[in-house]
Amino acid sequence: MRTVDDLLHVGVAGRRVLVRCDLNVPLTRPAAAGEQPEVADDGRIRASLPVLVKLLGQGARVIVAAHLGRPKGEPDPRYSLRPVADRLAALLGTPVEFALDTVGTSARLLADGLQDGQLLLLENVRFNAGETSKDETERVQFAEALALLTGGGDEGGAYVDDAFGAVHRAHASVYNVARLLPHYGGDLVSREVDVLRRLTGEAGEVERPYVVVLGGSKVSDKLAVIEALLPKVDRLLVGGGMCFTFLKAQGYEVGESLLEDDQVETCRRLLTTAGTKIVLPTDIVVSADISDDAATEVVAAEAIPAGQKGLDIGPDSVSLFSEVLAGASTVFWNGPMGVFEVRPFAAGTWGVAEAVTSASGLTVVGGGDSAAAVRALGIDEERFGHISTGGGASLEYLEGKTLPGLAVLEES
């Protein structure tokens, strides 16, 4: 895979470069009608800055394509990238042009008017039905229109994919456009691939002990990655809402906690196969409701009362998980340990995050809710070896799936 540094070596001054970024960030809810929302968590925007700064600094005319949320293939003001443009401009310290459409009149005029070292952000690419269409012809047509914003390959146009969080989708701005322009992987993509290859053993023997921490709501969301990693890891620590299906598989009652009944037998099989590899919580923080002033109680994992919800792992579980993590040389953490957004149920996630930072070797935070938790809880991101921007893409890579956006970048 050619990298953005390879493109810079060739030279980008005066050239229009289409950069696919991952700017799918949460927005605030406006306090009053007519007010514009603001970016609530700019982690993904900040992660995109290095490649943009590199290109702008060498005189490229940068056109950024990105998506936000899941609009239905047509403009929806709730998912406009306008607030992202404002935040990007503030972080870059330079004006950012913003197109009112994806490949329409506004985008074409602004792209044609770009000068060296200027940046244009297109409106949400998912406002165009061609971005996610199941019809290959429709996707290609949208990709061709995106490519034309650069003038095309014959006019010096180029494509850089720096949105690892989208490479598991064969969308127009991720897959099809890369087949139309000279294409390169951005720094985020290159770094993600390097780290994930270390976690899968593709880059050589994984340093041991190798510990994976999984949380989040559903076992079904993580089942494939559990199946793929179990043979490779020394310990698999399970928290979050998904732990209750495992506890049920052990024969325990879980009250009103999250439970996937259709996955109980699967969890029972995994526990039998894994032996001592899978480590479950020993105590749980329970409550009847989820609020900042909720009445909570810590109970044994096998003694969750009827009518109560398990909403976080307890202090003994944090100590157990921390003890396992203390001796780890490789750590991958994906998914919070509880409802960390609500104060009474944040301690488990915070404790595990602190334990991950204390591991001596490679520590990887698997993006998505885990990365959001790190920022929300005020933990210094520099204390982790790598914070992924991949989310679902990272999990699919670890499962051994082919990611279309990566595969196309590897084409000559």
56-84 pLDDT, tens digit each: 999 999 999 999 999 999 999 999 999 99
Residue 69 annotated as part of some ligand binding site? yes
Catalytic residue among 44, 54, 61, 235: 44
CATH of segment(s) 196-399: 3.40.50.1260
CA–CA gap between residue 363 and residue 333 (Å, rounded):
8
Q: Is 368 a catalytic residue?
A: yes
3-16 pLDDT, tens digit each: 999 999 999 999 99
The CATH label, of 3.90.226.10, 3.50.50.60, 3.40.50.1260, 3.40.50.2300, for the domain at 4-188 is: 3.40.50.1260
pLDDT band at 372 (very low <50, low <70, confident <90, very high): confident
In CATH terms, are 4-188 and 196-399 the same topology? yes
Tell me, what's the pLDDT at 31? 67
Q: Is 134 a catalytic residue?
A: no
Residue 168 annotated as part of some ligand binding site? no
Tell me, what's the pLDDT at 373? 87
Residue 154 · residue 145 · CB < 8 Å = no
Domain boundaries, the chain: 4-188, 196-399
How large is the average pLDDT for residues 390-396?
A: 86
How large is the average pLDDT for residues 15-26?
A: 96
197-219 pLDDT, tens digit each: 999 988 888 999 999 999 998 89
Q: Is 44 a catalytic residue?
A: yes
144-202 pLDDT, tens digit each: 999 999 999 888 999 999 999 999 999 999 999 999 999 999 999 999 999 999 999 88
Q: Is 201 a catalytic residue?
A: no
Write out the two tokens for 262.
């259709």
